[in-house]
């Protein structure tokens, strides 16, 4: 009997009381609340690393492309996208061309498309290969760029474009492209759509999209995270892209770069709801309203840097060496305060 009573007492002592159980649950909840932000930060860091690696690989592929194409840059209407333009014998139009326009050559979907030529150059097989209908092939290729199946996707790219300039293309809404180029490097100074014209405050000295014209490769950005075009519409963000074959001003693939305060691919001064507009483009650094907007930028020499949205507005990154500002640069107030000399009239980009 005594032995049975002893075992019963031991069994009672081994059990948790309700208060002890609640304390354990509270401790677990506290630990989870502490660890979740750290886990979210680790995931953000991991995604940024993947994005940076993809940018580095793309920039190295672009350098190889330049070697094989007599220093001409990828992603320009004057280079890889030239076939999209119709025949033309009038030099005043910015180009001359004797061959007719080709809507789909199996590589590019638009005159500004740099992803298709790089994928072809690097040996990747596009799902559009073998499709006879050129419009269907272009749609398939463009949607490939936006999908998780694309080998150089930005893992934080979840921005959905809700409006399509070229509704007749059938592309419709979908994710934005993962990365972009600057039209200051991909365009000439002739008028659109072949070039982007000449801004009144910027003289690129007759620039041509060639590697030997960009200047210091370690200071010039070739690819960067962005959202191409963003506007506030009815209290909601609307992002869009022009998918026409000979679109103007960068089309779906290029933009001025974040130095311009009228640039809609990195809107730095507008907040709607919980998400600042700049977080649609510079997608890292957390998703809280007051968190930093961190993006990744690949330079022409192949290295990649991560920086916040203000650091990314440094004018030296976005213009070919020798570019002269004939008037004060049309840039952000904090950019002008941080780099007063670089945004002033008379500045020559190194």
Q: What pLDDT digit, counting tens, does each position of 320-343 carry?
A: 999 999 999 999 999 999 999 999
Q: Which residue has the tokens 């509704």?
A: 167
Is 141 inside a domain boundary? Answer: yes
Average the pLDDT over 60-78 and give the result. 97
Lowest mean pLDDT among 74-88, 140-154, 286-300: 286-300
Is 136 inside a domain boundary? Answer: yes
Distance CA 188, CA 208 (A): 6
Is 140 inside a domain boundary? Answer: yes
Domain holding 307, by residue range, is 18-338
Is 8 inside a domain boundary? Answer: no
Within the chain, how many helices (H) and strands (E) appear? 6, 14
Whether 1 shows a pLDDT value over 50: the answer reads no
Is 11 inside a domain boundary? Answer: no
Is 5 inside a domain boundary? Answer: no
b/e for 152-191, b at 16 or more Cβ within 10 A? Answer: bbbbbbebebeebbbeebebeebbbbbbbbbbbbbbbbbe
Structure-token pair, residue 242: 């022009």
Is 188 inside a domain boundary? Answer: yes
Is 155 inside a domain boundary? Answer: yes
Distance CA 214, CA 209 (A): 8
Average the pLDDT over 52-78 and give the result. 97
Strand partners, 284: 294
Number of domains into which the chain is organized? 1
């Amino acid at each position: 009997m005594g032995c049975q009573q002893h075992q019963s007492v031991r069994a009672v002592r081994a059990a948790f009381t309700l208060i002890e159980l609640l304390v354990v649950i509270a401790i677990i909840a506290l630990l989870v609340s502490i660890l979740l932000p750290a886990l979210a930060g680790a995931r953000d860091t991991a995604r940024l690393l993947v994005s940076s690696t993809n940018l580095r690989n793309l920039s190295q592929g672009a350098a190889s492309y330049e070697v094989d194409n007599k220093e001409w840059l990828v992603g320009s209407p004057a280079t890889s996208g030239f076939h999209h333009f119709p025949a033309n014998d009038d030099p005043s139009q910015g180009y001359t061309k004797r061959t007719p326009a080709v809507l789909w050559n199996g590589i590019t979907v638009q005159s500004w498309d740099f992803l298709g030529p790089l994928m072809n150059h690097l040996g990747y097989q596009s799902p559009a290969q073998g499709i006879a209908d050129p419009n269907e092939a272009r749609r398939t290729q463009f949607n490939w760029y936006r999908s998780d199946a694309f080998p150089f996707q930005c893992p934080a790219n979840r921005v959905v474009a809700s409006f399509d300039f070229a509704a007749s293309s059938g592309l419709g809404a979908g994710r934005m492209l993962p990365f972009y180029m600057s039209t200051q490097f991909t365009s000439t100074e002739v008028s659109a759509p072949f070039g982007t014209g000449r801004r009144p405050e910027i003289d690129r000295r007759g620039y041509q999209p060639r590697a030997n014209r960009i200047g210091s490769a370690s200071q010039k950005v070739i690819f960067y995270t962005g959202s191409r075009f963003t506007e506030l519409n009815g209290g909601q963000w609307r992002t869009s892209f022009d998918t026409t074959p000979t679109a103007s001003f960068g089309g779906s693939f290029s933009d001025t770069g974040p130095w311009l305060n009228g640039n809609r691919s990195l809107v730095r001064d507008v907040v709607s709801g919980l998400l600042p507009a700049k977080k649609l483009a510079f997608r890292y650094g957390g998703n809280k309203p007051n968190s930093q907007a961190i993006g990744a930028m690949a330079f022409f020499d192949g290295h990649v840097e991560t920086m916040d949205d203000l650091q990314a507005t440094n004018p030296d990154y976005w213009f070919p060496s020798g570019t002269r500002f004939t008037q004060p640069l049309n840039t952000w107030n904090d950019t002008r305060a941080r780099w007063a000399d670089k945004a002033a009239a008379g500045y020559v980009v190194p």
